[in-house]
Homo-oligomer: A and B are copies of this chain.
Amino acid sequence: MKISELSRRTGVPVASIKYFLRQELLPAGRATAATLAEYGDEHVQRLRLIKALTALGGLSIAATRNVLAAIDQADSSEGALGAVSYALPVPMAAQSAAGDEEEAEADATAGAEVAELLAALNWQAPGTSPHVQGLTSALKELRRLDARYAPGELAAYARLAESVARLDLERAAGVDDPVALAERAVIVFAICAPVFELLRRLAQEDQVRRRAAGDGAEAASPR
């Protein structure tokens, strides 16, 4: 199909498709002549994925490019999952102005806290993982805001996160082709994470309501 047809089928303006081509989010069509190329269903699907990542997942073009590249390079199933997980933008990717010594100390404290947490949970994660780094800088910032987690609190969250992750992986199970798996993983990570956030907010809302109704007393149905 030609570009106009691709546009019609996906609802993406022709100019935007050209933009995505330039940005290498979308592979070029098969050229049939100097000014003519043929696009296929894979382009339709890729465009849908791009729209999902940018519009719903809120990813930038650059982040989307990384994620898509990770998908395309996926050769094994685990590789696919890992690559996608690393390619997705990490919340709170540090910022802190360069290091005076007070800064360095806060860094070390937060780092130790993270290491301790990982050990307590028996989670394996390389210190180079962007997630570990993100967690470290988040804890540092919370400390600065005087809102650090109480001891054990973070671990409690982590255990729940573990359960959520278990569900996530089950959702991704049963897909064998690495590329299809990577694509599924992107959706799970980028779209379903916000869904969980929404559920969490709804749950908070509900519990606030219950407490208000019960006049500040206990939350209803603690089990």
Contact = CB atoms under 8 A, between A and B. Distances in A.
A222 B203 CA distance: 26
A145 B47 CA distance: 11
A35 interface: no
A145 B52 contact: yes
A69 interface: no
Among A169, A188, A199, the most chain B Cβ lie within 10 Å of the Cβ of A199
B167 A157 contact: yes
Contact of A206 (B49, B124, B150, B201): B124
A100 B12 CA distance: 16
A124 B138 CA distance: 32
Nearest to A158: B199
Contacts of A189: 201
A125 to B, nearest CB: 6
A219 interface: yes
Instruction: Please state the number of chain copies in the assembly.
Output: 2
Contacts of A82: 205, 208
Interface in A178-218: 184, 187-189, 191-212
Contacts of A195: 91, 135, 138-139, 142, 154, 157
Interface in A65-91: 78, 81-82, 85, 90-91
Looking at A139, A192, A203, A206, which has the most chain B CB atoms within 10 Å of its CB?
A203
A124 B207 CA distance: 9
A131 B201 contact: yes
A200 to B, nearest CB: 4
Given A95-B56, A123-B206, A161-B200, A211 B78 contact: yes
Please give me the 7 A-B residue pairs with the lowest Cβ-Cβ distance, nearest first: A91-B194, A165-B203, A161-B199, A123-B206, A165-B204, A161-B200, A162-B203
Interface of A: 11, 48-49, 52, 55-58, 78, 81-82, 85, 90-92, 95, 97, 118, 122-125, 129, 131-132, 134-135, 138-139, 141-142, 144-145, 147, 149-150, 153-154, 156-158, 160-169, 171, 184, 187-189, 191-212, 219, 221-222
